[in-house]
Structure formats: C-alpha cells, structure tokens
Amino acid sequence: MSKILAVFGATGQQGSSVVNYVLNDPELSKVYKIRAITRDVDSQKVQKLKGKAEIVYGDVHDRASLETALTGVHTVFAMTVPSWGPGAVEAEYNSGKTIADVAVEKGIKYIIFSTLPSVTEISGGKFTSMTPFDAKAKIEKYIRSLPVKSAFYAPGGFMENFQAMPFMTPQKTADGTWAITRHISPKTKIPLVDAIGDTGKFIGAILAAPDKYAGKTFYAGIMYSQEEIASAIAKATGKTVVYKQVSPEELRKTLPAVMADNFLEAFGFQEEFGGFGPESEEKAAWSTANARGRLTTLEEYLEAHPPQLT
C-alpha cells in the first residue's frame, strides 16, 4: 500500500514542485500517494490536482482541521508563511509548532520542513529584522527535539522573484541602460534556486532515501555574484544591464516599506556571512550533488522566463 505524503502549500511554488515531482517520478509515484493540504479546496489551482492527488482542507489556525488532514499520513512536507510586523517570529513559529505537534500526535513517521538559517544567531545579533529566517530556524530546532525523524530544505532566493518582485529587477537609468542596485559588493555571492522547477529534486532525494538524509539539511541554490546576475539578465533580455552599488539609504527608497529592513539586512547578511551562513558554498555544493536531478541555472531560467525590461 502507498504511503501518504501530505503536502502543505500544495499549490504554491515549493509545494507544487514537490507534488509534480513525486507524481512524475516513476519510483516515488509508486511509493507515495499525495494528499494536498489547502485552505481553499475550491480554488482553480487545487481543482487541477483532482484525480492526481487527494485534496483535504487544512488550516494552521484550525487545529481540528489539521488533526483530520494528517490522519493516516506517513510523511509530511511542511512550510510556513512569513508574518510581518511586531510578533512576526512567534506568529510563524506557532504555525509551524502546531503542524509538528499534530503530526507527532497522529503518529507520522517523517517530517520534511522548509527552513532557513537563523540570521540573528549567526550574526551575533547584528541583523535582527529577517524574521522569516529566525522563525523558520526556531521551528526547525523544535522539530529536531521531537520523537520523529526529520529532514530539512533551506531554499536560496527564488529565481521567480525576478518576475514577482519588480524592485528586484533592473531599473532604467538616465542614459537608457539598465542597472541592478544593491548596497553590497558586486562580488557578493547569493544562492538562487528555481523554486517551482527544482524544489522537488531536493525533497525527492529525501523521499527516496529518508534514512540517509534524516537530520540533514539541503541548502538549495547555485551561488551567483551580483555581477553574474546582471550579466545573465543582460543575456536573456538583450539589454545593457550592469550592477550598481548604492548606499543603503538610496536602496531603501526602492523597497516596499513593510519589507525594507528585511531586504536591507538580507543583502548585508549575505555579504558578511554568506547566503546560508558560514561555509555557504560548501553547503550548496553538497546539496546540489545530492539533489535528485540537475538544477536549473540562472541563465536557463531567465532564457525561459526573461524579465520584461521596457
């Protein structure tokens, strides 16, 4: 009998990647049956899963719904949605803790959690505004304390953000060329991952060898310098695109107010401590080597999804 794999965020970028990877993998599709957990069972995205996956209502703010949704489940892929503003870390932590607690109560054998490193801890308190990172790290620490096997997936920056977040893309300058502006060195490397295309390759590796990867963290992403990112966008768009280092104050003006501190500190942290903290490149290299499939390069992603520079 197939094991039930419950996927939170099944219609989102990470969750949909996991669902599609498992459904299309000849081996994993025989081992696991997908249960898509969603807050909106009638959404158009969910309807596309009918006949391919079991669709079950579940909301982290409705514990009873999770108890129903996780009954009979063998493995969970869990992720939490960032909160912003005062109390953000505790709000997100409580969501992750509820999922983990119900999973253990229901006898689930394995939890795979989408995590991130604790920026406050790694930076020794220098950077404290990256609340989604700290919240997920706190959830990971809690899951590791529970009597259940677990593994973790820490994604780098999503390549999809070059389309989804206009402030991440190049801006037109006075001379008609384009510039990516940040307040960090052009040599600073950050990890980037095709979330929709490649998340499943990392989770698939864990699902295929759960004992091998128990307790391990996959740090997902290929490392790119700011100059390399600008060059890749230039190639994909046919435009002249350069990297321009600006002051933090100048960069802040281009960012959404609610996330300005988060992004400023994110870039600063990556420059000083690495995208994933110490030994980022080694962590990313190990994860890439152990992924279940070749990762999409930034050049390949942008060729398929070029930013619209007009």
pLDDT tens for residues 256-305?
A: 888 888 899 999 999 999 999 999 999 999 999 999 999 999 999 999 99
Quick check: 175 pLDDT over 80?
Answer: yes
Structure tokens at 93: 């932590």
Number of Cβ within 10 Å of residue 45's Cβ equals 13
The domain that holds 135 is classified in CATH as 3.40.50.720
Check whether 58 has a pLDDT greater than 90.
yes
CB atoms within 10 A of CB 176: 8
Helices (H), ranges, the chain: 13-24, 28-31, 44-47, 63-69, 88-105, 119-122, 131-144, 161-164, 195-208, 210-213, 226-237, 248-252, 260-273, 280-290, 298-304
Range of the domain at 131: 3-304
Rounded CA separation 49/52 (Å): 5
Q: Is the pLDDT of residue 244 over 80?
A: yes
| Helix 88-105 vs helix 131-144: crossing angle, to nearest 10 | 30
Tokens of 273: 């401590």
Per-residue confidence (pLDDT) for residue 85, from 0 to 100: 81
Does residue 112 lie in a domain region? yes
Give domain status of residue 184, yes or no: yes
Residue 151 belongs to a domain: yes
DSSP 8-class letter at 296: P
CB-based contacts of 141-145 (< 8 A; 24+ apart in sequence): 142/93, 142/96, 142/97, 142/100, 143/96, 143/100, 143/111, 143/113, 144/215
Q: Which residues, at least 6 apart from 239, have a Cβ–Cβ distance to it below 8 Å?
A: 170, 177, 178, 233, 309
Inside any domain, residue 166 = yes
Mean pLDDT of 150-172: 92
For residues 35 and 110, give the distance between their C-alpha atoms in angstroms, rounded to a whole number. Answer: 15
To which residue do tokens 């780098």 refer? Answer: 156
Residue 42 domain flag: yes
pLDDT value of position 86: 85
Distance separating alpha carbons of residues 257 and 58, to the nearest angstrom: 32
CA dist 181 and 178 (Å) reads 10
- The number of distinct structural domains making up the chain is 1
> Is 176 inside a domain boundary?
yes
pLDDT at 137: 98
Domain membership of residue 309 (yes or no) is: no
- The answer to whether position 38 is within a domain reads yes
**For 9-43, what is each residue's pLDDT tens digit?**
999 999 999 999 999 999 999 999 999 999 988 88
